[in-house]
Each structure stands twice: as C-alpha cells, then as structure tokens.
C-alpha cells in the first residue's frame, strides 16, 4: 500500500503569515516592524471539511468596518482609533510612522494598527499618516479588536 503524505506526516510544517505591526515604543514614537503569525493548528474548520491550517489571533473581534479611500486620499497624522487588523481588499495604500518608515500594501498583505498612546514629536505629529497609492481608490477591511492599547514592543504575543 502506498503511503500518502498525510500518513507519513499527519501534521505538515506549520505555516507563517507575515504582517506589518504599527506600534508605539517606550518613548511614544510610532514604528513599524515586520512580524509573523505562526501559531496555527492543523484541523477541520467544520464537520466534514478537510483539515487546513487555522490561526486565531489572541484577541476577539469587536467590529468589522469597510473603508473606501478615494484616489489620492491622504489622512494626516493621527492614531488608530483602537487596535485593528487592516486587510486591503483592492487598490494600494500606505502607512507612514513617526520613525520615518513608510510601507505600501495591497491585497494579500496585512497590517495590525496599534499606535495608541504616542507622544507628539517636535512637529506635533502623532501616530501615523496614511493614504492611497497609484491614483486609484483603495478598499480596506478593518477588524477592530477588544485588546487595549499596548506599547513598548513589536509583534503580537502568540
């Protein structure tokens, strides 16, 4: 009898999913770091479904918001209203943090916005600024979570 991959290895190597984390350091400066989700379980998502990798971020969702940002839109310096996952659905957008890092993202990329509790810099800037890229609108899905604002370190705890 021929062994299948599942018979030889019932749990293949767990995947990693990259995301950008916008966070606030101990000095109140917003920053961005590349992080990876890696706490996945190989299981069936529902009865009868073939097993797949399931990752559950640690915080429950509070609400889902869909934004349509117009072409050439720029939102000047501000903090995220609450911690939230940002999932680009179409178009491209950027987020720039107080440390000077600017990241552009499109569909298939993730960001976690958690820059609450920043302190104004010498120019009065707080948090981040963001906008659309490429002269086209961007559609973003925000999944706001129940986590309280945190600061001091990048990447979510597993």
Q: What is the CATH number of the domain that holds 103?
A: 2.60.120.10
pLDDT digits (tens, 9 = 90+) for 13-34: 889 999 999 999 999 999 999 9
Containing structural domain, residue 77: 14-145
Is residue 157 one of the residues assigned to a domain? Answer: no
Distance from C-alpha of 100 to C-alpha of 94, rounded to nearest angstrom: 12
Encoded tokens for 119: 């302190």
Whether 50 maps to a domain, the answer reads yes
Whether residue 97 lies inside any domain: the answer is yes
Which pLDDT score is estimated for 2? 33
Whole-number average pLDDT of the chain: 88
Predicted pLDDT of residue 157: 64
Q: Count Cα neighbours of 118 within 13 Å in the Cβ-side half-sphere.
A: 28
pLDDT in tens, 41-77: 999 989 989 999 998 887 888 899 999 999 999 999 9
19 within a domain of the structure (yes/no): yes
Q: Tell me whether residue 87 is in a domain.
A: yes
Instruction: Give the chain's domain count.
Output: 1
Name the pTM for this structure: 0.83
Average pLDDT of span 70-89: 96
Q: What whole-number percentage of the chain has pLDDT above 90?
A: 70
Which is higher by pLDDT, 132 or 7? 132
How sure is the predictor about 146, in pLDDT bands with cuts at 50, 70 and 90? Answer: confident
For residue 147, what pLDDT is reported? 73
Is residue 80, in this structure, part of any structural domain at all? yes
The answer to whether residue 111 sits within a structural domain is: yes
Residue 102: pLDDT over 70: yes
Q: Is residue 105 part of a domain?
A: yes
- What percent of the chain clears pLDDT 70, i.e. is strictly above it? 88
Q: How far apart are CA 150 and CA 58, in angstroms?
A: 14
């Amino acid at each position: 009898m021929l062994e299948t991959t599942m018979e030889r290895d019932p749990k293949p190597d767990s995947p990693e999913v990259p995301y950008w984390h916008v966070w606030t350091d101990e000095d109140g400066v917003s920053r961005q770091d590349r992080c990876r989700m890696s706490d996945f379980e190989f299981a069936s998502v529902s009865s009868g479904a073939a097993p797949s990798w399931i990752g559950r971020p640690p915080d429950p969702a509070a609400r889902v918001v869909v934004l349509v940002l117009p072409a050439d839109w720029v939102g000047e310096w501000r903090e995220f209203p609450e911690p939230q996952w940002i999932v680009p659905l179409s178009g491209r957008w950027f987020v720039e943090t107080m440390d000077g890092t600017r990241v552009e993202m499109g569909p298939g990329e993730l960001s976690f916005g958690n820059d609450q509790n920043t302190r104004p810099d010498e120019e009065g800037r707080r948090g981040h600024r963001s906008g659309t890229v490429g002269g086209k609108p961007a559609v973003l899905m925000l999944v706001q979570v129940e986590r309280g604002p945190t600061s001091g370190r990048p990447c979510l705890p597993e």
